[in-house]
A and B are shown apart, each in its own frame.
Chain A
Amino acid sequence: MSIVSIDKDYDNLSLVLVAEFEAPIERVWQLWADPRQLERWWGPPTHPATVETHDLAAGGEVAYFMTSPEGDRTRGWWRVASVDPPRSLDFTDGFANEDGTPNSKTPTTEVEVRLTEHPDGTRMELRFVFASREHMEQLERWGAFDVFPQSVAQMDALLAATPDQEDL
C-alpha cells in the first residue's frame, strides 16, 4: 500500500496525505515534472487528463483538461508558487473556463508537495488547504469532486486485476 497516513483537520480545513513509494526520489519527482507522466495519474480512468501547458517554475502555469466518456472537457490549471526539484512543489489548483482562463467564480486549493528520501524509496507528503469553510462548501456544491469516488472504485478494480503490483 502506498498510502501511509491521511490526516484530516476539519477545523483548519486541511488534509495531509503521506505515501511511500519503492522508487528513487528523482523518479517520483518525474510523476509531477513530466507532463506525459502527470497525465497518467491526474485524471480518473474515466476522465483522462491531457496536459497542454506545463511550466514548473515559480509563477509558471500548468494547464490541463480532463475528457469525459461523452467527450466533454473539464479544464483546470495550476499556478506554481515555488518549486525546488526534486524535493518540493507548491501550487494553487483551480478550475478554468472553456478558453483555459482561470474561472474566477470557482474556489481554489493550495497544494504542497514534499518528497524525501528514505531507505526503501521515497516518502511523499501532500498538504491541501482550502481557503475557508465557505470555499469548501462551494467546491462540494459545485460538484468538483463528483467524478472521483467513481474513479477510485475503478482504480481498485484495475489494481485487483494486476496482483503483481500489490506490494506498491
Chain B
Amino acid sequence: MVVAELADENLDRLFHALADTTRRDILRRCVRGEPSVSRLADLYPMSFAAVQKHVAVLERAGLVTKERRGRAQLVHTDGDALDRARRALDELEAAWRGRVERMADVLAQRDGR
C-alpha cells in the first residue's frame, strides 16, 4: 500500500468536502437523520443534479454513504463520531502493540539472547 499517496488523497478529499457551506449543511442534516437526495434538493436553491454532486463529494470523502430504498436514495453519515473515535483508538492501540513488541525484540537482540 502506498501510504503517503493514499493519505494525501484522502485528506485532500476531506478538506475539499468540508470547505463548502452547502456540503457542511447537508452533513449536519445527515447526522440528525437520513434525508433522501430529493428531500435535500428541496431544501436548497439549486438543481437536483447540483445537490447530487455535493452528496457525491461527501461520499468520496467517506463522510456519507448512499443507500437505495425503493425509489429514494437515502443519505446517511458513515457511523457516528464516537464509533470513529473508537476505531481510531483501537488502531492506535494496535500500532503501539506492534511497536512495544519490536522494542522488546531490540532489547533481546542487544542482550545477545
Q: Which residues of B contact A2 (CB under 8 A)?
A: 100-101, 103-104
Q: Report if A17 contacts B (CB, 8 A).
A: yes
Q: How far is the CA of A138 from the CA of B94 in the complex (A)?
A: 18
Q: Which residues of B contact A10 (CB under 8 A)?
A: 82, 85-86, 89
Q: Report if B43 contacts A (CB, 8 A).
A: no
B3 contact from A6, A23, A66, A164, Cβ within 8 A: A66
B103 contact from A21, A70, A72, A134, Cβ within 8 A: A21
- Max chain A CB contacts within 10 Å: which of B61, B92, B96, B113? B92
**Complex contact A145–B95 (CB within 8 A):** yes
Q: Report if B7 contacts A (CB, 8 A).
A: yes
Q: Which residues of A contact B96 (CB under 8 A)?
A: 15, 17, 126, 128
Q: How far is the CA of A80 from the CA of B100 in the complex (A)?
A: 20
Give the interface size class of chain B: 35 or more
B60-77 at interface with A (beta carbon < 8 Å)? 61-62
The interface size of chain A toward B, counting residues with CB under 8 Å, comes to 63
6 tightest CB-CB pairs across the interface, nearest first?
A41-B102, A148-B95, A145-B91, A140-B88, A168-B104, A152-B98
Query: Measuring CB to CB, which residues of chain A are less than 8 angstroms from any residue of chain B?
Result: 2-3, 6, 8, 10, 13, 15, 17, 19, 21-23, 27-28, 31, 37, 40-42, 44, 47, 66, 68, 70, 72-75, 95, 105-106, 109, 124, 126, 128, 130, 133-134, 136-152, 155-156, 158-159, 162, 164-165, 168
